[in-house]
């Protein structure tokens, strides 16, 4: 075969399922290893500081051209490139388009793809369907957080917003915290609640499933509370949890919008996030208060730092906890808030793992880029 020939593998969603993309236990282990590497600094993402979430294209409310898309809920295109070292040693990018109107067509809000590339030549290695990949790596990160941050022998899990994100989070919590046996669910509608209850049947460790009608009831006595609600941007719209609802020593897992009292957040809560540099980029990219535009609570940490209410030392990277550089808590009974924002290095870690599974199983379709390049 010519040394210049390049072939790459294409993996459909069906191929991805056969290759294990929905195997949450393996995904949690993969994300844990990714965080160890992240904590050592062996990675690069986009932007000047190498920590950007990615580059996003949005549209105006009144486009000046007839064919230009019009702004709407979750309407954007996003490119998320990265390199992840360590045992993964892979470059690549997640690319997606998003539009809430997709649901009217029976499509998911976002349609995602991941491309893995050779770190030296840039040649494509694998192009894969990534909706499931992204959903499962997103759900796995709270599980990694729970393994290191939740109280030992946690029993009660509170779910606020029982959608897809909470389903994948539940799967990771079940693996990371096998002593969990009770779920309290607060949802907006019967359909989503019933669907979530049906999903829990896959995890027989949960013996008690209770539907509650307020966020307070979902929080009371819970060892872990997981936020999975969607929300309109703007601080006043984010779901608000009162400190008195939260059990001492509990973990608040926040991959979705949530708001707590600033004094509690600044002075008493343990403030954990995936990667300090990622949130630093968000704080730089959006005008203060950045939390009004990016409703992830880790961004609020930076607003508080801007106000002089906390310092850099008050914000803890999950990778530092995993690598033994920082304790999960400063004192017994301290409430921990784990902010989850999402990073392309997570997609690369799980993407490479699933791609390697596909190669071993002989899955996918081989596509030719060229025998030799026309321009070289």
Same domain, 292 and 351: no
Same domain, 276 and 147: yes
pLDDT at 233: 77
Q: Structure pTM?
A: 0.94
- Answer left, alpha or beta for residue 47, where phi above 0 means left and psi between -120 and 50 means alpha: left
Question: What is the C-alpha separation between 76 and 70, in angstroms, rounded?
Answer: 10
- 167-199 in b/e form (b: 16+ CB < 10 A) is bbbbbbbbbbbeebebbbbbbeeeebbeebbeb
**Does any domain span residue 376?**
no
Same domain, 71 and 107: yes
- Contact criterion met (CB below 8 Å) for 80 and 53: yes
pLDDT at 2: 67
pLDDT at 231: 75
Low-confidence ranges of the chain (pLDDT < 50): none
pLDDT at 234: 81
Same domain, 177 and 126: no
Phi, then psi, of 2 in degrees rounded to 5: -60, 140
Residue 16 domain boundaries: 6-134+345-370
Same domain, 216 and 360: no
From residue 66, alpha-carbon distances to 62, 63, 69 in Å are 10, 7, 8
Strands 110-117 and 124-129: antiparallel
pLDDT at 1: 52
| Residues linked to residue 210 through DSSP beta bridges, in sequence order | 184
pLDDT at 204: 96
pLDDT at 191: 94
Strands 76-84 and 43-45: antiparallel
Phi, then psi, of 113 in degrees rounded to 5: -135, 150
Q: Which residues contact 188 (CB under 8 A, 6 or more apart)?
A: 161
pLDDT at 230: 78
- Contact criterion met (CB below 8 Å) for 242 and 307: no
**Does any domain span residue 1?**
no
**Does any domain span residue 269?**
yes
Among 226, 243, 237, CA closest to 291: 237
CATH label of the domain that carries residue 54: 3.30.1780.10
Same domain, 331 and 357: no
| Residues linked to residue 156 through DSSP beta bridges, in sequence order | 182
Q: How many domains does the chain have?
A: 2
The alpha-helical segments, DSSP class H, found in 307-372 are 318-322, 344-361
- Contact criterion met (CB below 8 Å) for 122 and 115: no
Question: What is the C-alpha separation between 339 and 80, in angstroms, rounded?
Answer: 19
Same domain, 354 and 276: no
């Amino acid at each position: 075969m010519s040394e210049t020939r390049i072939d790459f593998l294409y993996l459909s969603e069906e191929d991805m399922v056969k290759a294990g993309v929905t195997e949450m236990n393996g995904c949690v282990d993969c994300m844990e290893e990714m965080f160890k590497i992240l904590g050592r600094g062996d990675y690069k993402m986009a932007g000047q500081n190498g920590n950007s979430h990615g580059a996003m294209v949005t549209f105006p409310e009144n486009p000046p051209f007839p064919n230009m898309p019009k702004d709407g809920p979750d309407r954007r295109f996003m490119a998320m490139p990265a390199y992840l070292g360590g045992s993964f040693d892979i470059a690549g990018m997640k690319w997606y388009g998003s539009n809430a109107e997709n649901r009217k067509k029976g499509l998911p809000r976002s349609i995602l793809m991941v491309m893995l590339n050779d770190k030296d030549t840039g040649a494509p290695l694998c192009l894969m369907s990534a909706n499931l990949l992204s959903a499962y790596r997103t759900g796995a990160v709270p599980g990694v957080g729970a393994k290191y941050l939740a109280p030992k022998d946690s029993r009660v899990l509170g779910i606020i917003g029982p959608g897809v994100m909470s389903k994948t989070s539940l799967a990771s919590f079940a693996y990371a915290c096998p002593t969990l046996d009770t779920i309290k669910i607060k949802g907006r509608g019967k359909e989503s609640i019933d669907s979530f209850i049906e999903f829990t049947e896959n995890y027989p460790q949960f013996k008690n499933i209770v539907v509650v009608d307020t966020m307070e009831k979902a929080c009371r006595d819970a060892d872990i509370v997981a936020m999975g609600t969607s929300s309109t941007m703007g601080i006043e719209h984010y779901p608000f949890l009162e400190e008195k609802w939260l059990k001492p020593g509990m973990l608040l897992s926040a991959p979705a919008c949530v708001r707590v009292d600033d004094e509690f957040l600044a002075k008493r809560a343990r403030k954990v996030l995936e990667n300090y540099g990622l949130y630093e980029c968000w704080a730089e990219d959006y005008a203060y208060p950045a939390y009004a535009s990016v409703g992830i609570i880790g961004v609020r940490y930076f607003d508080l730092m801007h106000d002089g209410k906390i310092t850099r030392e008050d914000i803890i990277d999950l990778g530092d906890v995993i690598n033994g550089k920082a304790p999960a808590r400063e004192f017994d009974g301290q409430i921990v808030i784990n902010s989850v924002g999402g990073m392309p290095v997570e997609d690369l870690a799980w993407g490479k793992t699933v791609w390697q599974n596909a190669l071993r199983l002989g899955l996918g379709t081989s596509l030719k880029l060229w025998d030799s390049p026309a321009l070289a």
